[in-house]
């Protein structure tokens, strides 16, 4: 507190009254900046779409200076939406919606506080909070594509519509559908996708194949691709393998329409083989 005639820092005053005050510290404070809020008063968003904060080396400068404040909502505003989260919030007065990595970096690099901006206005609904948390992370290189897919799925569930979710994110319905589709991948393929061994474009195609057949379809596609690359390296001018050439000439001579080819394939191959063919066709189109 300042002496008579002195100036009072309202943020310090709000922090000093404690949780027992009859005055809600967030009242009329939307958009207010608060510097160096004690870390003990902050907690990371329990609904954060990021499963992990990742490597914090890129935030090492936060030890000396924080360039961008985090965005927080008050404890009361958060619990009005998710009352079951009380135990996860502990004694924190503020929930960090945007800036969870910055909060983790503050702890890691031993800062005593973090600069924040209060935005209780985004806590008007659950989908608005989820939207605020998602938009900060989409397209970040360190944001796992499957985390992104899970985040999109949460927003679709909360809004009740993929179309509405797409509008909120500023994306096309097709993009939302493609991201959600990645959640249909077999666990092994999800792991390969996280490790960068499986391209997102190919993963989208494989997600359309029945889960029990996805891994084998990918392996066969890899073998086929490897064989094709080997052939091209040995002889750039080589023709198609004989059986392919025969089939190609037969189709050309008969002037078969796509529907005729599909009918013949359905009569010749089993359903699993047809699913494999579809996956391979999509893979070859993406690889060329």
Residue 83 has pLDDT above 50, yes or no: yes
Query: Tell me: the pLDDT tens digits for 21-54?
Result: 333 444 457 889 999 999 999 999 998 877 777 7
pLDDT at 212 exceeding the cut of 80? yes
d(Cα 62, Cα 102) in Å, to the nearest integer?
A: 8
Q: pTM for this structure? A: 0.57
Mean pLDDT of 188-212: 87
| CATH topology (fold) of 26-124 | 3.90.1530
The per-residue pLDDT for 90 is 93
Q: Are 91 and 42 in contact (CB under 8 A)?
A: no
Share of the chain above pLDDT 70, in %: 75
Mean pLDDT (the chain, rounded): 78
pLDDT at 249: 66
- pLDDT value for 237: 42
**pLDDT at residue 6 greater than cutoff 60:** no
pLDDT of residue 75: 95
Q: For residue 113, what pLDDT is reported? A: 96
Contact yes or no for 158/127 (Cβ under 8 A): yes
For residues 76, 82, 88, 89, the Cα torsion angle rounded to the nearest 10 degrees is -10
- Residue 19: band (very low, low, confident or very high) from pLDDT cuts 50, 70, 90: very low
Q: Which helix (H) or strand (E) holds 13?
A: helix 10-17
Mean pLDDT of 127-136: 83
Tokens for 132, please give them: 């605020």
d(CA 24, CA 93): 11
The tokens for 218 are: 């990918």
Reported as a single tens digit per residue, the pLDDT across 219-266 is 887 777 665 555 454 444 444 344 555 566 667 777 777 887 777 777
């Amino acid at each position: 507190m300042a002496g008579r005639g002195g100036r009072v820092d309202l943020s310090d005053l709000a922090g000093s009254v404690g949780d027992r005050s009859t005055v809600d510290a967030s009242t009329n404070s939307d958009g207010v900046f608060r510097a160096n809020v004690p870390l003990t008063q902050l907690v990371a968003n329990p609904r954060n779409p990021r499963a992990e904060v990742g490597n914090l080396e890129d935030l090492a400068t936060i030890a000396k200076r924080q360039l961008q404040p985090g965005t927080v909502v008050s404890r009361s505003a958060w619990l009005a939406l998710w009352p079951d989260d009380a135990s996860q919030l502990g004694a924190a007065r503020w929930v960090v919606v945007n800036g969870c990595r910055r909060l983790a970096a503050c702890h890691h690099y031993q800062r005593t506080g973090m600069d924040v901006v209060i935005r209780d206005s985004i806590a008007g609904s659950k989908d608005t909070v989820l939207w605020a948390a998602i938009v900060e992370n989409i397209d970040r290189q360190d944001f796992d594509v499957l985390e992104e897919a899970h985040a999109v799925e949460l927003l679709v569930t909360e809004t009740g519509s993929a179309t509405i979710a797409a509008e909120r994110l500023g994306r096309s319905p097709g993009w939302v559908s493609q991201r959600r589709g990645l959640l249909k991948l077999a666990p092994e393929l999800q792991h390969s996708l996280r490790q960068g061994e499986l391209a997102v474009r190919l993963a989208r195609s494989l997600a359309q194949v029945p889960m029990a057949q996805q891994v084998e379809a990918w392996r066969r596609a890899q073998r086929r691709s490897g064989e094709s690359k080997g052939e091209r390296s040995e002889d750039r001018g080589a023709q198609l393998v004989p059986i392919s050439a025969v089939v190609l000439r037969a189709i050309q001579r008969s002037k078969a329409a796509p529907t005729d080819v599909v009918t013949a394939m359905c009569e010749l191959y089993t359903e699993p083989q047809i699913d494999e063919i579809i996956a391979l066709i999509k893979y070859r189109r993406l690889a060329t």
